Chains A and B, each alone.
Chain A
Amino acid sequence: MSLVPWCDGRDGMYGFIWRILPGNTWIKALLSIVLVLAVVYVLFQYVFPWAEPLLPFNDVTVDNQ
C-alpha cells in the first residue's frame, strides 16, 4: 500500500502512475519530478514548435494568400 495516505487507493491516471512507481515516497516523488520535467521537455522541444504554426497567433506579414 502506498505510504501517502491522501493518495491511498485513489483512482485515475495520476493515482495509477503513483502506484506503479517503485520505491518509497521520496523515490516516488523524485521520479514524479523527473517524469514531469521529461513531459515539459518533450512539449517545449517537439510538440509546441509543431503546433504553433498551425495556430493563428503569429502571422505578422501582409500577403495575398
Chain B
Amino acid sequence: MAATTDHEEHTDAPASPPAPRRRGGGPVATAVSVLGELLITAGLVLGLFVAYSLWWTNVIADREADKQGDKVRDHWAEDRGPVGLDTKDGIGFLHVPAMKNGEVLVKKGTSTKLLNNGIAGYYTNPVKSALPQDKKGNFSLAAHRDGHGAKFHNIDKLKKGDAIVFETKDDWYVYKVYATLPETSKYNIKALAPVPKESGRTKAGRYITLTTCTPVYTSRYRYVVWGELDRVEKVDADRTPPAELR
C-alpha cells in the first residue's frame, strides 16, 4: 500500500552508496515527496468518486427502487381500493421498450432525494403535472441520466413513434413519441406546459413529457421527449402487457 516516490534518490546519491538511505534529503525533497503523495491521494479519491457516481449509486438506487416497486405491486395485489389516489408509494410504472431498462417506478415530486432512489418523479413544481387519467394535460416526468439508477440513461434512443407505456393498477396508458428536443436550457419550463407548444402541438390533449439532463455525465442542458396518448387498455387478470411490451 505504501505508494512512495523516488524523488529523494538523486539528492543523496554519491555520498552514501547502498547504505540505508535515511529518510529525506532535505526540506525540498520532503516537500516534493509529500506533495507527490497528496497528488496521488487526490487522484485516487477522484477515481473513487467516479466509481461512486457511476456505479455505486446505481447499485443502491436499484436496490431501493426494487423494494419500493415491490411494495406498490403488493398493494395492488391486495386491492386496497383506488390506488390512483395513493400517491405516496408511487402511482405506477413506466415502461419504455426503446430505453431497455425494464420498469421504472413513478412517484410524486422531483426532489433530488426522491429521484436518488432510482425512480422517476412527476413534476409538482414549477409546473404541476397532469396525471394519465386526467382528461387533458401533460404528464411530465424527470429521472436521472447517470447514477442513482440512471433510469433515463438511454433517452436519446427514443425516436418518433416509439412507445412509452405507463402502467397503473387498472390501466395501461400507451403513449407514442412524436417529438424530441435533444438540448434545451435548464430553465425551459415551457416544455412542461399542459400544451407543450415547442413540440409543435397547439391543442389540448393527453401528453407525456420525459425530462433528464444532457449531455451524459453532466447537467448543462436538458433533454426532452414528448409523447401523446395513443390508447388506454384495461389491465386483465394476468396483467398481460400491451403489444408494445411483448
Q: Which residues of A contact B (CB under 8 A)?
A: 1, 4, 6-15, 17-18, 29, 32-33, 35-36, 40, 43-44, 48, 51-53, 56-64
Contacts and interface: CB of A to CB of B under 8 A. Distances in A.
A18 B129 CA distance: 58
B144 interface: yes
B52 A44 contact: yes
A14 B8 CA distance: 15
Interface of B: 1-5, 8, 20-24, 29-30, 33-34, 36-38, 41, 45, 48-49, 52-53, 56-57, 110, 112, 115, 123, 125-126, 142-148, 152, 184-189, 191-192, 211-213, 217-220, 222, 224
Contact of B147 (A11, A33, A58): A58
B148 A62 contact: no
Given A11-B8, A61-B142, 10 more contacts: A9-B20, A14-B2, A57-B146, A58-B112, A60-B211, A62-B211, A62-B222, A63-B126, A63-B186, A63-B189
Contacts of A13: 34, 37-38, 41
Contact of A44 (B29, B56, B142): B56
B222 to A, nearest CB: 5
Given A14-B3, A53-B112, A62-B211, A8 B143 contact: no
